[in-house]
Amino acid sequence: MGRLLVFVEHKDGCLKKISRQILGYFSNTGGENDFEITAIIVGDSIEKKIINETASWGADEIILVEDKGLINYNPLILVQAITEIIRGKNPQLVLFGNTALGKDLAPRLAQVFSRQMVSDVIDINLEKEIINFIRPIYGGKAFEKIEISSNNLTFVTVRPNSLESFVNCYQTPKVHKHHTQINDNLPYLLKEVIKKAAEEKSLTEAEIIVSGGKGMQKAENFKLLEELAKVLGGAVGASRSVVDAGWMPYSVQVGQTGKTVKPKIYIACGISGAMQHLAGMSTSQVIVAINKDPDAPIFKVADYGIVGDLLQIVPLLTEELRNMYRE
Amino acid sequence: MKIIVLVKETFDTEAKILLESPNNISQKDVKYIINPYDEFAIEEALRIVEKFGGEVILCSVGREDSQITIRSGLALGADRAKLIVSGATDSITVSKFLAQSISQEGFDLILAGWVAIDDNNAQVPARLSELLQIPLVNVVIEIEISEDKIICRRDSDDKIEIVETGLPAIIAVQRGINEPRYPTVKNILQAKKKKIEFLYMEKIKEKVNINISYDVIQSKRKGLLIDGSSPQKAVTILVEKLKEAKVL
């Protein structure tokens, strides 16, 4: 009997999408493989509906780490708590989302146990003796396939929107509490948390991204992309040249030195398609390109391309979609 | 202040990735650069030393030839470098080598890029913090150092976290923290005389059974081009196609 440990992230009383994706993926493949899923939920006071939601995505067991000191993120406290849980549970895989939290915690824990970590995976396949992972490298220009024998403890972060999400399958899990002794005198102190403006919200979880390049001609024209993104319930991204020009903040840069994204639809407007940009978005499910240059390399990776003037096309597209949703 | 900056040599961002075999990425005709995130770390180290005085030492694990790339870091103004020559590329071994050589050297502060653009692992700073038992502040976009503490602004998805820590510490930096300088002619000339210390370390045989292979992207896209000379018509076709693809 194997065991998977899944760190569940939640926000405003709901599970983050990546946590639902990880739980849903493994609870549905679980039929063919013999393993149990233990979910860890951390917080200052964990609402019942978060526990219920975790159960509904197929956790066999839920461990709550609840303490006033956990209202804000402190990696030292969480490393200690999760280390204690791992020692008690002996899992084969410890899974996080490839989020700010997962990227920070997973490698620390991997070193506590001197074990391998597989970062930013986009596919996982559990077999009896081995586990297969696929992860993008060189910013998405290539993929690394890793096989690790399944009897070793391995740490993993999973890229959002990568694992095929299934319908939830409710379990009636055992719920335990884990208490960890919090040292008041830690050399890492969180002083303040500042919320970012809505438009800077994480691109990596967005299902639809409307992205602009130098072909947008000026910063003001990004308003057109914001309107389109709003109708689609998506987020706005940008190419490196746009960020370098100061039109958009770095937090929305897509590419090898920016964010790597994998939305359902990626709409590239006025983006020529430099190698380093393609690296950041080429695993998107559907790619749409709008560009006036028919020879732009972006068309080579696009499913649908419109050759034309984006300042005319984008507002029309926004209007067309708005009418469609109204109906 | 004695600052160690971890630097990694990577392929240039415009490099095309080709495979020699399923287990080998071709290095033929590749242009090398310092990992762009590590350049931000070098710049930040130089600024701290300009303010407080001290020394900036680059530390890298790479090939013998990585010295050419490392020297471009010295040309930015770092004082000297340590190059650990090893075939090891996995994060566990690389971190172990770095920890050994850094603790022998001694330091007040370690700076590094939070991720390397080639392997996308983002593990070495965290592993080093555990090995050296010093705090890590990760994905940092602003550092403010005073006598007895360091205040960092850290990028955490939809939030900014302000974290206080002390020295010694390791800080992994994110783009946005600064605008790296260009090397001056004087610094390029001086860099030729700066010392690079070579350390040769054997790769330890792996205990874990792990097999790695590679694949390059092949576009399997539909590649349907719509004429936009009639914008309204083009938009209607596009929306139809997106509905057919069941993404709308």
CB B9 within 8 A of CB B33: yes
- Residue A139, chain B, CB below 8 Å: the answer is yes
Q: DSSP secondary-structure letter at A10? A: E
* Selected residues 144-173 of chain A with any CB under 8 Å from a CB in chain B: 144-149, 152
Work out the pLDDT band at A35, boundaries 50, 70, 90: confident
Contact B158 A196 (CB under 8 A): yes
Q: Tokens for A143?
A: 């993929």
* Beta-carbon pairs below 8 A across chains A and B: 246
pLDDT tens digits, residue range B130-167?
999 999 999 999 999 987 899 999 999 889 999 999 99
Which amino acid belongs to residue A237?
Answer: G
Q: What are the pLDDT digits (tens) for A51-89?
A: 999 999 989 999 999 999 899 999 999 999 999 999 999
Whether pLDDT at A233 is above 70? yes
- Mean pLDDT to the nearest integer, A140-161: 92
Give Cβ neighbours of residue A261 (< 8 Å, ≥ 6 apart): A203, A204, A206, A209, A237, A254, A280, A281, A284
Tokens 């983002």 sit at which residue?
Answer: B122
Q: What value does the mean pLDDT of chain A take?
A: 92
Q: Record the tokens describing residue B136, joined without a space.
A: 């890590």
pLDDT at B207: 63
Q: Is the pLDDT of residue A32 over 60?
A: no
| Whether residue A123 has pLDDT greater than 90 | yes
Residues 7..46 of B with a Cβ closer than 8 Å to A: which? 11, 13-17, 19, 25, 36-37
- How many other β-carbons are positioned within 10 Å of the β-carbon of residue A324? 13
Whether A104 and B229 lie within 8 Å, measured CB to CB: no
Identify the CATH homologous superfamily for domain B2-207: HUPs (3.40.50.620)
Q: Is the dihedral of CA A42, A79, A104, A119 positive or negative?
A: negative
Searching chain B, which residue's CA lies closest to the CA of residue A185?
Answer: B165
Residues of A whose CB is below 8 A from B248 = 265, 321, 324
pLDDT for position A161: 86
pLDDT digits (tens, 9 = 90+) for B34-85: 999 999 999 999 999 999 999 999 999 999 999 999 999 999 999 999 999 9
Tell me: ipTM over 0.90: yes
Say if CB A32 and CB A172 are below 8 A apart: no
| Of B127, B129, B224, Cβ closest to residue A305 | B224
Calculate helix-pair angle for B36-52, B66-74, nearest 10 degrees: 40
Domain ranges in chain B? 2-207
Name every residue whose Cβ is closer than 8 Å to that of residue A48 and which is 6 or more positions away in sequence. none
Closest by CA position to A176, among listed A66, A63, A85: A63
Would the CA dihedral through A33, A36, A42, A47 be positive or negative? positive
> A-contacting residues of B 81-140, CB under 8 Å?
90-92, 95, 117-123, 125-127, 129-131, 134-139
Nearest by CB: B235 against A72, A188, A316: A316
User: Given B118, B127, B161, which is nearest A193 (Cβ)?
Assistant: B161
**Which pTM does this prediction carry?**
0.89
pLDDT of residue A237 exceeding 60, the answer is yes
Of A141, A190, A303, the CB nearest to B216: A141
Residues of B in contact with A203 (CB under 8 A): none
The answer to whether residue A31 scores a pLDDT higher than 60 is no
Mean predicted confidence (pLDDT) in A176-188? 93
Nearest CA-CA partner of B46 in B170, B178, B163: B178
Inter-residue contact B214 to A143 (CB < 8 Å)? yes
Separation in Å, CA A266 to CA A123, A212, A260, A282, B140: 20, 11, 12, 9, 28
* Interface check A256 vs B, CB under 8 A: yes
Candidates B133, B132, B112; CA nearest to B5 is: B112
> Strand B24-25 vs strand B19-21: parallel, antiparallel, or unpaired?
antiparallel
